[in-house]
A and B are shown apart, each in its own frame.
Chain A
């Protein structure tokens, strides 16, 4: 639903009075822009299919009010999900993971301003995910980020802590200080184990394993390798995460890059540096 400036300005004016507590008759352009973005953000929340609201027949004021309620509701639900996540959360020793989730999120819930700046997600979210979230902002970005972390934690709990840590330390001796995605490297190791028909955790490959891996990868194009890895992933997920579409979608983001890495590793004869 398109709303005109004439319909949006009264809400910006009302917000600006609240923002200044009626102690200023003017605001800077920057503040006005922030408040306008706040109004638009809430209206877009009301228009989101998940809100299930009849926005096409609503005035801008009503759409804004309903959208603001939706933002508050979403913030509360995300806080509850975060608390549930933290009961079993493990960063496996990676600092960026720990700082972003264990320290960053509480700061978000403390400082998030759903009234005057719902579009600001405040956190830099340094820990990198497999799924790009740049198109989202505000509480939507935080909620989507949290969903990805929940998925990652479910995946990582499939493996022993020793396996996860040894996989990461094989990748880089200072993995604890790096900004790397933990499931990416564990998934890469998992897919190689599945390619080699191993069905248990193996912390280190020996020269024979690398030789077998070369044989398995030889002759496969990048696209064919990606298809093969996708099929292996699906088989694994159907066994350990049946009907978990979120898991399949999330880990699916990594398969292309993993296939490219392994293909290059074969080309340059440096598979031991890759996995």
Chain B
């Protein structure tokens, strides 16, 4: 009897999660992104796998709605790549919750991921995983004082990209880049 009850509770929870994901379509439709029921079920199934692999437990509606909210306006996500990108980002999210020793809140990690995905990684989730996030979480673990200041809600530093001091690649100077484009074309 109690096992049936557990199964019923779980089924009910899954229905709620599915409904919650499909509700996100009302916001994402404005950006040309929609999830079908099959897409939502796939995402929930991938969520279970990711949680098991990362040895995490999730309560309530989970991170997917917030993830969709953070990335739906990305210039690098199209309807064709929507589900695949969400799956990858979800996986990255759980991995880096662990890598940051849970020192980052959900919104801090999501906000960093979204910013880097747009401004540094140009829509490349693998690049996000292997560079920005890896270095950022390393800095978080060692208690980088600069990042502490960044995370201070009174520091009013919303415009600054916290990854600036951590990047290890040489990047194009903007003026040089534009000049080179002009020369080429």
Contacts and interface: CB of A to CB of B under 8 A. Distances in A.
Nearest to A27: B57
B62 to A, nearest CB: 5
A25 B62 contact: yes
A273 interface: no
Given A23-B107, A24-B102, A24-B105, 5 more contacts: A5-B6, A25-B62, A25-B66, A27-B102, A28-B56
A61 to B, nearest CB: 16
B49 to A, nearest CB: 14
A156 to B, nearest CB: 45
Interface of B: 2, 5-6, 9, 51, 55-63, 66, 94, 97-98, 102, 105-107
A32 to B, nearest CB: 5
B106 A32 contact: no
B43 to A, nearest CB: 15
10 contacts: A4-B2, A5-B6, A13-B60, A16-B59, A20-B102, A23-B106, A25-B60, A28-B55, A29-B57, A30-B55
B102 A28 contact: yes
A13 B59 CA distance: 7
A30 B60 CA distance: 19
Contacts of A6: 2, 5-6, 9
A228 interface: no
A32 B6 contact: no
A258 to B, nearest CB: 49
A215 interface: no
Interface in A13-46: 13, 16-17, 20, 23-32
Contact of A25 (B2, B9, B61): B61
